Every structure is written in C-alpha cells, then in structure tokens.
A and B are shown apart, each in its own frame.
Chain A
Amino acid sequence: NAGVTQTPKFRILKIGQSMTLQCTQDMNHNYMYWYRQDPGMGLKLIYYSVGAGITDKGEVPNGYNVSRSTTEDFPLRLELAAPSQTSVYFCASSYSSVGRSNYGYTFGSGTRLTVV
C-alpha cells in the first residue's frame, strides 16, 4: 500500500518556466489537497478537491492550477514560475463519511521546489 505518492521530490525551475507536480493516492480517498509550507510557517492550502471533477481554491491559489479527472490523481500545475513560489509542496488525501468530513490527512513525501 503506497499511500500518497508525489513526484518529483526536488526541482529547480527558472523564472517563467512551468511544471506539473504529480500526486496519486491508492487509498480510495475522496478528498485531496495541495499545501505549501514555507520555513517557519504553517501549511497553507492552495487547492482542494472533494471528488473527481470537483476542485476549489484554498487560501493561496494564485499562480497555480489543478485538475481531478480520477479519484486517484490530483496534479498541481505551476504556470510562469516566480521566486515567491519557492517552497515545499505537500499533497494530502483524507477519507470522509456522512457523519464526519475529515478523519485526518495522509501526506505525500513532498516536493522541494526552488525558483531561480
């Protein structure tokens, strides 16, 4: 059972370049999330999805885009990379039920992105 898998683990981008961070989970979780974590700061929500075909913005969505075509996959697209997007990116998934919207997250191992 792999859990949440993120690729790549590290990436250096030049200003203005674009890239896609991949995230896939094999736990059949309906909810998936993208967070970024800057040094000394908490995790900030970028985008989230409550199921295939449904996505919504979080706290810091500018400069990013997502899609959710399947339950398993939730890629994050960075367009026109800027130095402010230098961060560690975490994908997470969670299970929900009728009685409770969140039983806690399972996180991927993270992608450390540097924009120069």
Chain B
Amino acid sequence: QKEVEQNSGPLSVPEGAIASLNCTYSDRGSQSFFWYRQYSGKSPELIMSIYSNGDKEDGRFTAQLNKASQYVSLLIRDSQPSDSATYLCAVNEGGGFKTIFGAGTRLFVKA
C-alpha cells in the first residue's frame, strides 16, 4: 500500500514566524508532488506543485523536495492568521494517474 505520511499537528506558530510542514512518501517512483490548503468546511486548494529535487518558491511559500530521502516539505514565511488551515501533502503514483493524499497537518497562526 503506497502511503503519504504527515504529522497531524496541530502546529502552532506566532504571526510573522516561519511555519514548516513535512511529509514523507513510500512510492520511490513518484514524480509529481503537491501541497493543498484546506480551510475548515471547504474544499482543498492547490498552492504548490514540485517535480524536481530542490526548492521552489512562490511568494511566501517554498516547497522542498528530496527524492532520495522521499521527503517533501512546505515552508510558509511571514505566517499570517489567514494561513490557519489544514495542509495536505499529495503525491502522484509513479507512472500513474492517481494521487495519494496525506491526512493533513493542522496549522494555527496566533495573532
């Protein structure tokens, strides 16, 4: 069974700090990796995608990928109370069409 593991949290950070969210995956053949944000009672929203080893930055968000360690992370700089949500790590099956989701990490940003 291919798996995506995340710490469920909650992760609590003060406003303005860096929030660091981590994810590990079991499928060594995976090539596509995603982070989704889900507010309570809402649907997931794609915020970052990453396909190559290294860092990818988009505004206050940085995704990091290390395929050798099967590890994906998301950094949120200058965290805002509006960033409080559940963050889902998602990994595409190697060579396939299906995406496997982690259970999510709940983030609280305290004003």
- Chain A residues at the B interface, C-beta cutoff of 8 Å: 31, 33, 35, 40-43, 45, 48, 50, 58, 90, 96, 100-110
Contact = CB atoms under 8 A, between A and B. Distances in A.
Contacts of B32: 100-102
Given A48-B98, A101-B97, A105-B99, A43 B46 contact: no
Contacts of B81: none
B103 A104 contact: no
Interface string B78-103: 00000000001010100111111111
10 contacts: A41-B103, A43-B44, A45-B100, A50-B97, A102-B32, A102-B92, A105-B90, A107-B44, A107-B45, A108-B43
Contacts of A35: 101
B49 interface: yes
Interface in B31-50: 31-32, 34, 36, 42-46, 49
Contacts, number: 58
Summarize A's interface: helix, strand, loop or mixed: loop
A42 B46 contact: no
Contacts of A50: 97
B98 A104 contact: no
A58 B51 contact: no
B97 A104 contact: no
B104 to A, nearest CB: 7
A40 B45 contact: no
B23 to A, nearest CB: 11
A105 B34 CA distance: 9
Contacts of A101: 32, 92, 95-97
B44 A102 contact: no
A100 B98 CA distance: 12
Given A42-B4, A100-B32, A105 B46 contact: yes
Given A33-B98, A45-B98, A90-B43, 8 more contacts: A31-B97, A33-B99, A42-B101, A42-B102, A50-B97, A101-B32, A107-B43, A107-B44
